[in-house]
Amino acid sequence: MMGTKFLQWDLVPIPLMQFKKVNVRRLQRWLLKLASAILMEPLYMGLRRRLGEPFTRRLQMEQSKERTYFTQERKKRKKRTSSERTVVFESLQLGSTFHRPELVRNCLEQSLKKLKFDYLDLFIIHIPVSLKPGPDLSPMDENGKLIFDIVDLRQTWEAMEACKDAGLVKSIGVSNFNRRQLEMILNKPGLKYKPVLNQVECHPYLNQSKLLAFCKSKDILLEAYCALGSQRDKMWIDQSTPVLLEDPVLGAIAKKYNRSPALVALRYQLQRGIVVLFKSFTRKRIEENFQVFDFQLSEEDMKTIDGLNKNLRYLSLIQLSTPPAC
């Protein structure tokens, strides 16, 4: 650019030498357009004032109607979402391949994005077993063995705490943690938030009374899954294990209260101060299960159900870290 003259226009240097390359015909056409625009503008404005006003007004009215419609819709949606969120408690689990602290927030954000949520009510560490990070949720070696990862779960917990601080989750908790693993988190130096709950397998055949007492002493809620004895999926559950809802003692108590064994199994947990999960794909059963609040088991019957405990676990940790298709 040596020797080129510059024209300073709005502080943008335009090399004058470039005019040499301008096509004269294109420049003439452009000048003609510019001149007609300068001349036509007042005429256009006048016409717009005289003829265009009714149209402009109609357009403005349409635009304002549209704006009102969208504002109302947004308000409705906001109302709907806030009321739905008070009824529906949204909870997610942190998978075992995301235990490394640098992966936790990203995992949560990806899920929130997919669900189109701004936040979750509860986020829990699914199991206290870490697996090799990567796209495969059940990473296996060539011998079909799970590939584990070494992660200090206290660091995972710190990353969970950061998610809560960032407003991405209301509460954080754990699942399938035993007493020792809970203590590891509770005794962590600089602990900011303790787990609000521990979600574990719990039913009359595995009543978790010791873990329940420990959780209560630490003000941690115990949440029961497999409360109805699981779905008994052949892929997951040993079919030779006894079927909880066919237990004769549970059946006799159910008869006494004129309820189903399922309702008695759910009610048993509620009366112990346990948050109970149930799963059903049947409308009739979902409705039936909500009758859990309509009756009360006597102390004697609670003790009888306590007596059914045989420390029988339907699911193992290894099963939980492996999808049934594997």
Contact positions vs ligand NAP (CB under 6 A): 126, 175-176, 199, 225-231, 245, 260, 262, 277-282, 285, 288-289, 315, 320
Give least dist CB 297 to ligand NAP, A: 16
- What's the number of CA atoms in the CB half-sphere (13 Å) around residue 171? 14
Tally of CB atoms within 10 A around 147:
14
CB of 249 within 8 A of CB of 201? no
120 φ, ψ (degrees, to nearest 5): -115, 155
55 φ, ψ (degrees, to nearest 5): -65, -45
The residue (of 127 and 159) whose beta carbon lies closer to ligand NAP is: 127
Give least dist CB 275 to ligand NAP, A: 11
| CA–CA separation, 211 and 217 (whole Å) | 10
The residue (of 191 and 245) whose beta carbon lies closer to ligand NAP is: 245
The residue (of 52 and 285) whose beta carbon lies closer to ligand NAP is: 285
Give least dist CB 175 to ligand NAP, A: 4
Give least dist CB 266 to ligand NAP, A: 8
| CA–CA separation, 127 and 177 (whole Å) | 7
Angle (nearest 5°) at CA 177 between 170 and 309: 120
Q: Residues for the chain: how many in total?
A: 326
CB of 173 within 8 A of CB of 197? yes
Contacts of 311 (CB under 8 A, 6+ apart): 205, 206
The residue (of 156 and 230) whose beta carbon lies closer to ligand NAP is: 230
The residue (of 26 and 180) whose beta carbon lies closer to ligand NAP is: 180
The alpha carbon of residue 39 and the mean position of all alpha carbons in its chain are separated, in whole angstroms, by 61
The residue (of 268 and 278) whose beta carbon lies closer to ligand NAP is: 278
